[in-house]
């Protein structure tokens, strides 16, 4: 019969085996190499043979650098290299194998060779906002604001204002030798009436453009990753305060009437502690997983020890008659 010491040793053996296997599995998952070292973007190079202009714009844009940008890599590594980021920062990411087809948003993310023999067969292009929304979702874009906008309701696509290859806004240069270059010129394509009135306003004379009030643009400021403009396209008090903060509800505007209005004493509730909410979960140490697996292995070893003892005694009894026959 096994002693308690033997049973404890069996349980510890199971615990070490479970913890070791779990630790190796977690480290293998977290040890995903940066996308820059993954497969080369062969399909993109093939497209560049004929579409050089688009290739150059794509390479210098955020889509072409989505998996190799130093800012992304630093943020990704600081979070423990989660595979969830690679779903959008690479093309064809497979969570089961932690591999991807291309270390960027490649041509195949939006273009599909219907017959598989392009240029002999046609290439279809998906320009729908729903495709963009797979990555530029609520937490990364403010999709709900975009769906509630008049632009979305009238069937406008993201590519109406954004270049799909450079992933930047389309700038329109005014052909009057002034060199004026402003993204607000895109608005004039549809908002003809407003464009006729706006040049005579004080806002225009001060250099204020459409995007200053209706988009709260971020291009000229330092902003955190995944920060985006307000795509509801509604002017807000916040955008007004960008210029009129000293004029909005200032003390000089308050005029006393001389009346005294009694106010009942209100019960002030206790302050509720604020819990910080982060968009990304804090990475869990691999040792935590290994420790949990070790406890499960320890419990399993204690439960299985009596069964192992029975198996051992049965094998010993089976071998003893065979040894007597051999003698």
Confidence of residue 90 (pLDDT cuts 50, 70, 90): very high
Across 237-250, average pLDDT: 75
- Residue 199 CA to residue 100 CA, distance in Å, equals 50
Query: Using the 8-state DSSP alphabet, how is residue 225 labeled?
Result: T
Whole-model pTM: value is 0.57
Q: Say how many C-beta atoms besides its own lie within 10 A of residue 86's C-beta.
A: 25
pLDDT at 304: 74
Continuous segment of H or E residues that includes residue 125: strand 123-125
Instruction: Tell me which residue of 163, 31, 42 sits closest to 92, measured CA to CA.
Output: 42
> In sequence order, which residues have a C-beta less than 8 Å from that of residue 70 and are 6 or more positions away?
none
For the ranges 124-128, 179-183, 281-285, the lowest mean pLDDT is seen at 281-285
Across 42-66, average pLDDT: 84
pLDDT exceeds 50 at position 280: no
pLDDT tens, position by position, 67-82: 889 988 998 999 898 9
Question: Could you identify the residue written with the tokens 């005029």?
Answer: 255
Contact 23, 290 (CB under 8 A): yes
Confidence of residue 317 (pLDDT cuts 50, 70, 90): low
Domains of the chain by residue range: 142-242
Q: Phi then psi for 292, rounded to 5 degrees?
A: -65, -45
- Residue 154 CA to residue 317 CA, distance in Å, equals 84
Q: What percent of the chain has pLDDT over 70?
A: 68
pLDDT at 275: 44
pLDDT exceeds 80 at position 168: yes
Across 265-270, average pLDDT: 52
Tokens of 235: 């002017």
Count how many Cα atoms sit within 13 Å of the Cα of residue 36 in the half-sphere of its side chain. Answer: 10
* Bridge partner list, 102: 91
- Residue 77 CA to residue 83 CA, distance in Å, equals 11
Tokens of 36: 């820059």
Q: Say how many C-beta atoms besides its own lie within 10 A of residue 14's C-beta.
A: 21
Contact 16, 291 (CB under 8 A): no
Contact 112, 124 (CB under 8 A): yes
Confidence of residue 40 (pLDDT cuts 50, 70, 90): very low
């Amino acid at each position: 019969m096994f002693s308690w010491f033997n049973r404890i040793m069996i349980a510890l053996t199971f615990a070490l085996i479970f913890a070791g296997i779990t630790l190796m599995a977690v480290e293998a998952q977290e040890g995903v190499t940066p996308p820059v070292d993954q497969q080369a973007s062969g399909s993109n190079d093939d497209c560049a043979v004929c579409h050089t202009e688009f290739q150059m714009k794509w390479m210098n844009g955020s889509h072409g650098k989505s998996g190799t940008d130093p800012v992304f890599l630093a943020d990704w590594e600081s979070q423990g290299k989660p595979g969830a980021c690679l779903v959008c920062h690479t093309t064809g990411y497979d969570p089961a194998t932690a591999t991807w087809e291309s270390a960027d948003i490649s041509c195949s993310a939006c273009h599909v060779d219907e017959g598989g023999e392009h240029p002999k067969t046609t290439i279809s292009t998906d320009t729908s906002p729903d495709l963009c929304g797979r990555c530029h979702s609520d937490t990364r874009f403010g999709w709900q604001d975009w769906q509630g906008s008049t632009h979305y309701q009238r069937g406008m696509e993201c590519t109406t204002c954004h270049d799909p290859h450079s992933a930047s806004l389309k700038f329109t240069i005014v052909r009057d030798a002034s060199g004026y270059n402003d993204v607000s010129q895109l608005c004039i394509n549809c908002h003809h009436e407003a464009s006729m009135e706006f040049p005579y306003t004080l806002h225009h004379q001060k250099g204020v453009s459409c995007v200053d009030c209706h988009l709260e643009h971020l291009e000229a400021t330092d902003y955190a990753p995944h920060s985006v403009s307000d795509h509801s396209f509604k002017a807000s008090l916040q955008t007004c305060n960008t210029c009129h903060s000293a004029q909005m509800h200032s003390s000089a505007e308050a005029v006393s009437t001389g009346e005294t209005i009694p106010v009942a004493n209100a019960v002030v509730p206790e302050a509720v502690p604020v819990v910080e909410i982060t968009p990304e979960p804090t990475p869990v140490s691999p040792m935590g997983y290994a420790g949990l697996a070790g406890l499960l292995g320890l419990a399993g070893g204690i439960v299985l020890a009596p069964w192992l003892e029975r198996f051992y005694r049965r094998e010993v009894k089976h071998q003893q008659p065979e040894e007597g026959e051999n003698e």
